A = this chain, B = another copy of it.
């Protein structure tokens, strides 16, 4: 990002002044105005947030009922397409996307193995029903850990981190495995490209499919996924957690927490 631009960010906003009958006063909308307390819109980049059932907080429009929840649906259900009894590994498992992925995989009948970056997160993943959860910062040997919890190989890998970690997971995939490449947070701040062993041979010998995706390309399917997630929330199958930072001035610290691993669940700033 070039210096001097408004930092990007998605937000829930309430219309407090309007000349547009489509968005009357008091309407709750999703917008991408960035790190600002107030913004002016011609209505083009606003998405109305539908009324949620009682007990479902509005802030979920940024999490389980927003982009992260949509990402979990597309990446897990469409790309990984896990079958009952399959082994699913999720990295960044305590994040807004990862925890939803793990929960959905679990109630679809899979064995779910999650990796996150603190003991607190690992405890939470186990509370959510993950079969296995590990602190990737403290396990001694990722390869040996994967071989012990998935001796027949990993069928689906939902990848939020990229880098060396994902390379080790790839080497432990089962035949016909599927990898949903969602994020590569481990390398976003690298100034030169990370070098890894070439993967072509592994992809071929194990007949693996790796799919990189950006969920915004499937906006037309959001309504279907939102309804599905609301239903799963109501049935108690899909739980959520938010890491709420209060105050506009604390936005920077909240953002940096994404890289240091300070957040469990969806990171939200309440202004």
**Of B162, B183, B194, B200, which is within 8 A of A181 by CB?**
B200
Residues of A within 8 Å of B, CB-based: how many?
Answer: 35
**Please, which residue of chain B has its CB at the minimum distance from the CB of A176?**
B217
A143 to chain B, nearest CB (A): 15
> Cβ of B195 and Cβ of A198 under 8 Å apart?
yes
A202-B204 Cα distance, complex, nearest whole Å: 19
Count this chain's copies in the assembly: 2
Q: CB within 8 Å of B: which of A182-227?
A: 182-184, 187-188, 193-214, 217
Q: How far is the CA of A198 from the CA of B188 in the complex (A)?
A: 11
Known contacts A188-B201, A199-B199, A205-B212; can you find 6 more A-B pairs with CB under 8 A?
A: A162-B198, A184-B201, A196-B198, A203-B212, A204-B214, A209-B212
In chain A, positions 152-177 with a C-beta closer than 8 Å to chain B are 159, 162-163, 166-167, 176
Closest approach, in angstroms, between the C-beta of A68 and any C-beta of chain B?
15
CB < 8 Å: which of B195, B202, B203, B211 contacts A197? Answer: B195
* Residues on B with beta carbons closer than 8 Å to the beta carbon of A166: 200
The CA of A159 and the CA of B204, in the complex, are separated in Å by: 10
| A196: min CB distance to chain B, Å | 5
A212-B217 in contact (CB<8A): no
**Contacting residues, chain B, for A209 (C-beta < 8 A):** 209-212
Cβ contacts under 8 Å, A205 to chain B? 212, 214
10 residue pairs from A and B, CB less than 8 Å apart: A187-B198, A195-B195, A195-B197, A203-B211, A203-B212, A204-B213, A206-B212, A207-B212, A207-B214, A209-B211
